[in-house]
Amino acid sequence: MSCLRINKSSTQSKFFKVKCIISTTYLYTEQEKYDQAEPLYTQALEIADRVLGSDHSKTETYRRNLENLRAQQQQTSEDDSCPN
């Protein structure tokens, strides 16, 4: 019984870490600090994939968020390279 508690607690701890990381990525994204947000999104996605599984709705949401962030990075890069 105590092993189940430890595993459950460990899973909850990892998921809490993911939620904290995601909150930080939202802040960085709002500030257009995409280079700082991307590694955090990647880290959160890796943890969610291990803890929740790749088919879990949260994992899929984090994956889409990372894809959207990369698209925003690309758009910003293209906008910056266009002459005014």
Q: CB within 8 A of 45, min separation 6: which ones?
A: 59, 62, 63, 66
Kindly report the pTM of this predicted structure.
0.74
Q: Is 1's pLDDT higher than 70?
A: no
Instruction: Give the C-alpha separation, 6 to 76, whole Å.
Output: 44
**Residues 7-63 pLDDT 10s:** 555 777 887 888 899 999 999 999 989 999 999 999 999 999 998 899 999 999 999
State the burial class of residue 15 (Cβ atoms within 10 Å of its Cβ: 0-12, 13-18, 19+). Answer: middle
Domain coordinates in residue numbering, the chain: 34-71
Give the max Cα distance, the chain. 66
Q: Is 73's pLDDT higher than 90?
A: no
